[in-house]
Amino acid sequence: MAEVQTSTNSGELAQRFIEFVMMQTQNAALFLGQIPNPQTGKGEVNLEVAKMFIDQLAMIQEKTRGNLSNEESAVLRNTLSNLQLAYVEVSRGASPSAPAEKKAPESAPPGEPVTPESPTAGPEGESRKKFTKSYGAG
C-alpha cells in the first residue's frame, strides 16, 4: 500500500515540477517579448529579467542532475534549450530604439552565424565580436 502512495506522490511531484518549469518558461517568454504583456497587450522585451529566469532554469537543471525522471529531464532540457535560442535571437535583433526581432538580419550570408556588434564598433558596424553566452554557473 505504501508503494501506491509513493508512486502517486511521485507522479504528483513530477507534475508539479513540470508545471514549475513551464511557469518559469512562460515568465522568460514574456520578457523575451514572445507572450504579450497582459496589461498592455503588447510584447515587451527585458533581456535582463529574461536571462534571470533562464539562468534559474539552468541552475535547477544543474542541481537536479541525476535526480529527475526521463520526462522531467526532457521537459527541462528542451524548454531551456528553446529559451536560450530565443534569448540569443532576441538579443541579436534588439536595439534601444527598435523592438526586438526574432530573425537574423538579412545582410548575413546563409549559414553564417550572426554576431552582435561590439560596443567599440565603428560607424559602419564592421567590427564584430563572436557571441558567447554562458547559461551555466554564473
Domain contains 25: yes
Domain span including residue 71: 2-93
* 74 falls within a domain: yes
- Determine, yes or no, domain membership for 20: yes
Contacts of 111 (CB under 8 A, 6+ apart): none
Q: For residue 57, what are the CA distances in angstroms to 75, 79, 94, 110, 125?
A: 11, 9, 23, 31, 34
Per the structure, the count of domains in the chain is 1
Q: Is position 30 within any domain? A: yes
Q: Is residue 99 part of a domain?
A: no
pLDDT 10s digits, 16-66: 999 999 999 999 999 999 999 888 999 999 999 999 999 999 999 999 999
DSSP string, 58-115: HHHHHHTTTSS-HHHHHHHHHHHHHHHHHHHHHHHH-BTTB---SS--TTSPTTPPP-
Q: Is 124 part of a structural domain of the chain?
A: no
Cα gap 31→91, rounded to integer Å: 12
Separation CA 43–CA 60 (nearest Å)? 27
Is residue 34 assigned to a domain?
A: yes
pLDDT digit string, tens, across residues 66-123: 999 999 999 999 999 999 999 999 999 854 434 444 433 333 334 434 333 333 444 4
On whether residue 125 sits in a domain, the answer given is: no
